[in-house]
A = this chain, B = another copy of it.
Amino acid sequence: MEMKRALEGVKVLDFTQVYSGPYATMLLADLGAEVIKVEAMNVGDQTRNFAPIKDGISGYFNYLNRNKRSITLNLKSPEGRQAALDLLDLAKWADVVIENFSAGTIGKLGLGYEDIKKVNPNVVFASLSGFGQYGPYKERLAYDAVAQAMGGLTALSGPPEKSVKVTPAISDAITGIHMAFGVMTALFHKERTGQGQLVDVAMMDSVFSILEGSIVVRSLMGRNPKRMGNCSEIAVPYDVYPCKDGEICIACASDSTFNKFAKVMKREDLITDPLYCTNPVRIENRDGIDLIIKEWCSTRTKAEITETCVAAKVPVAPIMTVDDLMTDPHVAAREMLIEMEDPDLGKIKYAGNPIKLSETPAQFLLRAPRLGENTDEVLSKIIGYSEDKIAEMRANQAI
């Protein structure tokens, strides 16, 4: 028996591309939403050309677009405008229309919130962009590096002496998750009241929102938060230390944890040492305690340190690379590595879905579609176009 899915019957018309929007609709699709991805004819989502590419197929695209179907439409020619009109038939079908063009662009295609509302008054219209649908920067262009910088994350990342952004495009992911939450909130409200609305989520806002206490440090204390690198302003030892075969993070956020760690090192003397006995004195004597820990770590492996600290309830972590994670037993047990079959690439591993629902778990039923693979199926089965009409659209280069 097929398992019930949480978002069974939720219909999403998806104009997004690259990372932020596709991450949001991947979360929805994994949990059962029916996502139809609309791509520009002959071109498609930009990530179809993103590395890693093998045999002409992008693994990047395949990761983010599983569980979705693809239709292609010509939006820019006169025939395309006809296609846009036809698209309004799909928009009637949708509970959610989602897009991540720069602000205002989709309106110019005749597919903005105001256009869609005319045919589907209660639609949830989700616009994801660099700077949002209003505000002085709304027309600026953003890539991930721009959003990390503008939202304040770059300034707080990297070592103390130099700000360095994060390599993966995490501002896209953070915005995508916020959007998935915003869409579900709007859908819940629509389910209860019948009312649709615009959900506007911006990359700059989303990054700004995850700076922890940084804003209130500034507003309450009048000072900028510090970039701390691997260590902590308020707890010692809480840092990354070199060890025999790599690096290891040891995080003692309280005196009781430090005492446990001192026992792990067989240095119970530190527990009563006036230089190291409490967190405030350890902060003052940071260099001294760091030296002791470095020496202890230098003769031990990541695995040895992890094992003894875990046993003693001291928070610890080897610095895990992607290579390490591919064979990690916990990643496997959590189904965070899934394998999907592609007709050209064979079986490939992808990151799974981090939302674990006991009764309606994420499922991975459809590999990512080839460009326009589902155009005919969607037009005929979902909006009921005849074969003749579809053939005519194709002859007119509308699809």
A336–B208 touching, CB < 8 Å: yes
Is A112's CB within 8 Å of the partner chain B?
no
B209–A167 touching, CB < 8 Å: no
A215–B337 touching, CB < 8 Å: yes
A205–B156 touching, CB < 8 Å: no
Q: Kindly identify which residue among B31, B215, B360 contacts A351, using a CB–CB cutoff of 8 Å.
A: B215
Stretch at the interface among A131-139, A268-276, A290-298, A372-380: A131-139
| List of B residues within 8 angstroms of A172 by Cβ | 212
| List of B residues within 8 angstroms of A320 by Cβ | 149-152, 154-155
Q: Kindly identify which residue among B184, B200, B215, B350 contacts A356, using a CB–CB cutoff of 8 Å.
A: B200
Report A114-155 residues with CB < 8 Å from chain B CB. Answer: 131-137, 140-143, 145-147, 149-155
Q: Name which residue of chain B comes closest to A253, CB basis.
A: B143
Is A162's CB within 8 Å of the partner chain B?
yes
| List of B residues within 8 angstroms of A227 by Cβ | 167
Give Cα A180 to B140, complex, Å.
29
Is A177's CB within 8 Å of the partner chain B?
yes
| List of B residues within 8 angstroms of A51 by Cβ | 213, 217, 233-234
| List of B residues within 8 angstroms of A54 by Cβ | 220-221
Stretch at the interface among A34-42, A73-81, A83-91, A185-193: A185-193
B355–A188 touching, CB < 8 Å: no
Q: Name which residue of chain B comes closest to A173, CB basis.
A: B210
Give Cα A200 to B185, complex, Å.
19
| List of B residues within 8 angstroms of A357 by Cβ | 182, 185-186, 197-200
Report A4-23 residues with CB < 8 Å from chain B CB. Answer: 4, 6-7, 10, 19
Q: Kindly identify which residue among B145, B167, B323 contacts A251, using a CB–CB cutoff of 8 Å.
A: B145
Report A351-393 residues with CB < 8 Å from chain B CB. Answer: 351-360
| Interface footprint category on A | 35 or more
Is A60's CB within 8 Å of the partner chain B?
yes
Report A308-334 residues with CB < 8 Å from chain B CB. Answer: 310, 313-326, 329-331, 333-334
Give Cα A201 to B27, complex, Å.
13
Is A164's CB within 8 Å of the partner chain B?
yes
B62–A135 touching, CB < 8 Å: no
A181–B191 touching, CB < 8 Å: no
A197–B136 touching, CB < 8 Å: no
Known A195-B359, A213-B51, A358-B197; contact A153-B168, beta-carbon cutoff 8 A: yes
| List of B residues within 8 angstroms of A133 by Cβ | 356
B156–A167 touching, CB < 8 Å: yes
Known A174-B177, A178-B355, A336-B209; contact A321-B155, beta-carbon cutoff 8 A: yes
| List of B residues within 8 angstroms of A110 by Cβ | none
B189–A6 touching, CB < 8 Å: yes
| List of B residues within 8 angstroms of A141 by Cβ | 313-315
Q: Kindly identify which residue among B164, B349, B359 contacts A230, using a CB–CB cutoff of 8 Å.
A: B164
B167–A351 touching, CB < 8 Å: no
How many Å from the CB of A133 to the closest CB on chain B? 8
Select the residue from A182, A187, A234, A337 with max chain B CB neighbours within 10 A. Answer: A182
How many Å from the CB of A69 to the closest CB on chain B? 20
Q: Kindly identify which residue among B63, B191, B205 contacts A192, using a CB–CB cutoff of 8 Å.
A: B191
Q: Given A132-B334, A180-B181, output 9 extra A-B contacts at Cβ < 8 Å.
A: A59-B221, A152-B325, A154-B319, A186-B360, A191-B191, A199-B355, A202-B354, A209-B352, A218-B349
13 contacts between A and B (CB under 8 A): A52-B216, A52-B221, A59-B216, A133-B356, A142-B315, A156-B167, A157-B158, A159-B162, A169-B212, A173-B210, A184-B184, A199-B358, A208-B351
